[in-house]
Amino acid sequence: MKWRTIFSSKTMGGDEEVKVFGMWASPYSRRVELALKLKGIPYEYIEEDLSNKSALLIKHNPVHQKIPVLVHNGKSIPESLVILEYIDETWRNNPILLSQDPYDRAMARFWAKFIDEKILSTTRKVSFTTGKEQEHAIEEVTEQLKLLENEVKGKAYFGGEGIGYVDIVANFLVFWFGNLQEALGINIFSQHKFPFIFEWIQKQLKIDMVDESRIPKDKHLTYIRTRLAAFKSASK
């Protein structure tokens, strides 16, 4: 099923056209929506059925044919990290997502890449493996989360005193990760193990736009369990 939703804001005028092709359970498209909401940018959201991708999605992202895709005045921008930088550079209103300091910008990009290429990648291994392979993946993602825990220790947010680029990229920890581990029946991620990340999560939840971006828990759990059941069935 595909649906379209229009999100409006009083902070932006003119006739700019902004569309987001996404999928409701994807942490990658959720981060793009959160950035737009934080910036106060009105946009049209187009839900994609990833088992039956639309011709428009393929048109706007012919290389990877994946979500998310941002379409701004007819121009397509794929890949969530690229989109976040585009949003920040195009709409310079608060919050500024990336620091103007070259070192701080470089480190923000480093941690964003670490989250995507290490933590989320290893989390997929945890989800779609079993036995010793899954145990190894759990150990690996735990060590990766410890590194992220150390990075946010003593900070209000990853980028300093306000929500920024890395906070948006790491936002999957606020809602998505806990649902995944509940569906899997494992306990990787807890306040006892990661007190500084959980302190950061509480700060995130005080931001209205973050709280409004919650993934419906029951719907998400059903979605994950359906995918896991399909994986187990295919593996037999």
Which option is the CATH number for 4-90: 1.10.260.40, 3.20.20.150, 3.40.30.10, 3.90.850.10?
3.40.30.10
CA dist., res. 39 & res. 209, Å (int): 10
Span 98-124, pLDDT tens digits: 999 999 999 999 999 999 999 999 999
Give residue for tokens 């990075």: 151
Write down the mean pLDDT value for the chain: 93
CATH of domain 102-235: 1.20.1050.10
| Cα–Cα separations (whole angstroms), residue 29 to 22, 146, 166, 173, 182 | 5, 25, 15, 14, 22
Neighbours of 78 (CB within 10 A): 20
Q: Is the pTM of this model over 0.85?
A: yes
Evaluate if residue 11 carries a pLDDT over 70: no
Q: Where are the domains of the chain?
A: 4-90, 102-235
Common-topology check for domains 4-90 and 102-235: no
Span 130-171, pLDDT tens digits: 999 999 999 999 999 999 999 999 999 998 889 999 999 999
**Length of the chain in terms of residues written:** 236
pLDDT, position 12: 45
- Token pair of 8, please? 């409006």
Evaluate if residue 173 carries a pLDDT over 70: yes
pLDDT band at 8 (very low <50, low <70, confident <90, very high): low
pLDDT, position 48: 98
Evaluate if residue 236 carries a pLDDT over 90: no
pLDDT band at 232 (very low <50, low <70, confident <90, very high): confident
**23, 31 Cβ separation under 8 angstroms:** no
